[in-house]
Amino acid sequence: MAGGKIKRSSGARLQGGIPFEKSKGQHILKNPALVDSIVDKAGLKPTDTVLEIGPGTGNLTKRLLEAGVKSVVAIELDPRMVLELNRRFQGTPLSSRLKVIQGDVLKCDLPYFDICVANIPYQISSPLTFKLLSHRPIFRCAVIMFQHEFAMRLVAKAGDSLYCRLSVNVQLLSRVSHLIKVGRNNFRPPPKVDSSVVRIEPRKPLPPVSFKEWDGLVRLCFNRKNKTLGSIFKQKKVLALLEKNYKTMQSLQLTSDTETGNEKMSVDDVALLAHMVDELNMETGEEKDDDEMEMDDADMRRELPNSAKLISCIYCHSSTMPESCPSVKNILLLDSEGKRVAVKYYTEDWPTLSAKLAFEKSVFVKTQKAAAGTEAEIVMFDGHIVVYKFIKDLHFFVTGGEEENELILASVLQGFTDAVYSVPYYIDKRTALGNLDLILLCLDEIVDGGCRGFLWKGQVDVSGGHCLAAWDTRGAAACRVQLPATAIDAMVRPSQLYLTSYNSAQALGWFVAFLRLLPCLVPPVSVHSSYAVAGDLVCLLQTWAILETVHAAVGLVHTAPLLAFLQWGGRTHFVLAVVRQIPEVQSTTSVFITFMAWSISEVIRYSHYTLTTLKVCPAWLTYLRYTSFIPLYPIGVGPGEMWTMYQALPFVKEMDLYSGLFGKFSMSYHSFLVAVLACYPFLWMKLYLHVFKQRKSKLGKVGAKKRA
């Protein structure tokens, strides 16, 4: 492209002249001491043929060749890395023992090898593990770098919280041991997760069991969270299903090999396991202790003495199950306070509104400690896998079952965020509320009945219109939505125009109040004249702020209406019911302190709201908005509002203020004001901490966003 620049994809990172692509899991191991340790723990022999998967630039490859093995076969998907490998070893004595194969390791036939040593892309961990275990002839061992969480599930034992179907099936076919935990800084570019090196030794001979039947048994055992085996197999539905399938088995006259335990696991069984590994990807099992497991085994034997028949019945159940698909249970779009912006539920796991709201609140609280940015994060919560990411003041969540594929859920999340972000070209809470129709359209198209995920891409055509094109997970075109820019602008313009006008007017009004108060600091004008010069304007602006309670009540802004009303009511009571009605307190220094603290904080706050609505708010103003309150709020409340009300108490009692209003009650306004003063510190502290929480949400993830 003459005269232009080549735009590098967002997923690529340039390191040493080669752009590494995160989508391919390209994180090169750069620590030579760690490379040496991996090779040493592999136990290589001079007669070994070593298989390396994903060699990258060849750091591990070089060390394997230097260890004196017979040969190294490296399988690499990226043609650029293949060229780099050939260039690195060309003309060296090591090149004669190196064979590089370009291709997808999951699709190509594996060559003969004695041992596998690899730092693999983590997204292929499950399928690759089971493909290796299905390889014939059986290799001696594999030393592989996995994501730490995946590795811990591989080596988990019965009774561990991470013990799951993945653990059971891998340990059925092999002996697994953990070798080294590897920090993320040992890679270039560093991933967002830690890693672990695991040793896998296939069992010889294979266990005498049919995997089809075994998998059916394991499915039932891990199908219920926190259930014991005894309770699972005592359920009426399970017993009825087993009885039905047992009769089916008898009618088909199955051979007695399974009953006598003489059938051995075949290569086809292991291949079937490799075909089903997408369902096992990164699962988490249930927490059991050894005592429970022993008791449940006994219960199972008492209920169904013929365990071979039991397994055969379960096989009938598993073979008649519908073909699985990536199941999305819900999609949540929440604001920075955990309040709803838009949600969709696809299952009946949460049958009532209160259950849904409780789940949303709980998952929001659980994910607040994570420094999630624009990259997806994963958490196990209440028997579900939740993938999530944060963009500005919006939190995106996609929830699936604990046995779902995390990569598929993450792709649905990415599609959702891409689609929502592409609609208005700028996404935050206010924009999302103004585009709910389009967001719900995105939800309906991305997840079809909770079963199909779409990947969305946003584009802009030459006419300025917004175009959303969707592809399903197989890459086939699914739908295309043309959204003219004028239509989108028309959806957001009324509320945007109104909020801009209101916030700018408030900012201007408080700025005028601030300018009127400034001369009070310089003689001959005194701070005791603050109410005389700015009191009427402050009363007007504070009364006008009742509209903010209306905004929250009608959903124009996503703020709790009660919180907005309490904040407005407290200040309005102060200026109208106390200061305006008692001339003696209008000339106090505490009134000047209150008005000055209010005017400074409100100029900053409303200016921030105005520019945010216009989508041109600078970062420094956002920082100032969520930092200036730290000194201003305590100053305005302590020596300002509370001290003023305390000074007003004698005059309230002397004037018997509001006696007509409070005469119907057993208390006077004086007693009411004393009660307000007693509660004021606690109510103010609650509001103060609430703003601190907002500050953490807005500014606490700056580092994560910079890294992203």
Peptide bond into 524 cis (omega under 30): yes
Closest CA to 342 of 631, 555, 195, 54: 555
How does 57-79 read in b/e, with b if 16+ C-beta sit within 10 Å? Answer: bbbbbbbbbebebebbbbbbbbe
Residues in contact with 427: Cβ distance below 8 Å, sequence separation at least 6, in sequence order: 391, 392, 394, 420, 421
> Alpha helices, DSSP H only, in 447-517?
485-517
Closest CA to 42 of 204, 197, 154: 197
Task: Map tokens 């400690």 to a residue.
Answer: 369
125 residue type, one letter: S
CA distance from start to end of the chain: 28
How does 483-514 read in b/e, with b if 16+ C-beta sit within 10 Å? Answer: beeeebeebbeebbeebbebbbebbebbbebb
Q: Is 29 marked as a binding-site residue?
A: yes
Contact 12, 169 (CB under 8 A): no
Element (H, E) at 467: strand 466-472
Residues in contact with 611: Cβ distance below 8 Å, sequence separation at least 6, in sequence order: 617, 618, 621
Closest CA to 609 of 559, 663, 677, 554: 559
- 227 vs 288: CA distance, rounded Å: 9
Q: Is 349 marked as a binding-site residue?
A: no
Q: Is 508 marked as a binding-site residue?
A: no
Q: Is 449 marked as a binding-site residue?
A: no
Which of helix, strand or coil describes residue 297?
A: helix
- Residue 44 main-chain phi, psi, to 5 deg: -75, 150
- 512 vs 526: CA distance, rounded Å: 18
Sheet bearing 454-460, strands edge to edge: 454-460, 466-472, 477-483
Task: Map tokens 């750091």 to a residue.
Answer: 59
> Alpha helices, DSSP H only, in 283-339?
290-303, 307-319
Sheet bearing 377-381, strands edge to edge: 340-345, 328-335, 394-401, 384-391, 377-381
How does 313-324 read in b/e, with b if 16+ C-beta sit within 10 Å? Answer: bbbbbbeeeeee
- 605 vs 588: CA distance, rounded Å: 26
- 658 vs 158: CA distance, rounded Å: 72
Class of residue 440 by CB neighbours under 10 A (exposed 0-12, middle 13-18, buried 19+) = middle
The token pair at 469 is: 């094109």
- 700 vs 430: CA distance, rounded Å: 20
- 484 vs 409: CA distance, rounded Å: 30
Contact 74, 50 (CB under 8 A): no
Contact 325, 451 (CB under 8 A): yes
Q: Is 59 marked as a binding-site residue?
A: no
Q: Is 537 marked as a binding-site residue?
A: no
- 197 vs 148: CA distance, rounded Å: 8
Contact 287, 167 (CB under 8 A): no
* Binding site listing for S-adenosyl-L-methionine: 27, 29, 54, 76, 104, 119
* Binding site listing: 27, 29, 54, 76, 104, 119
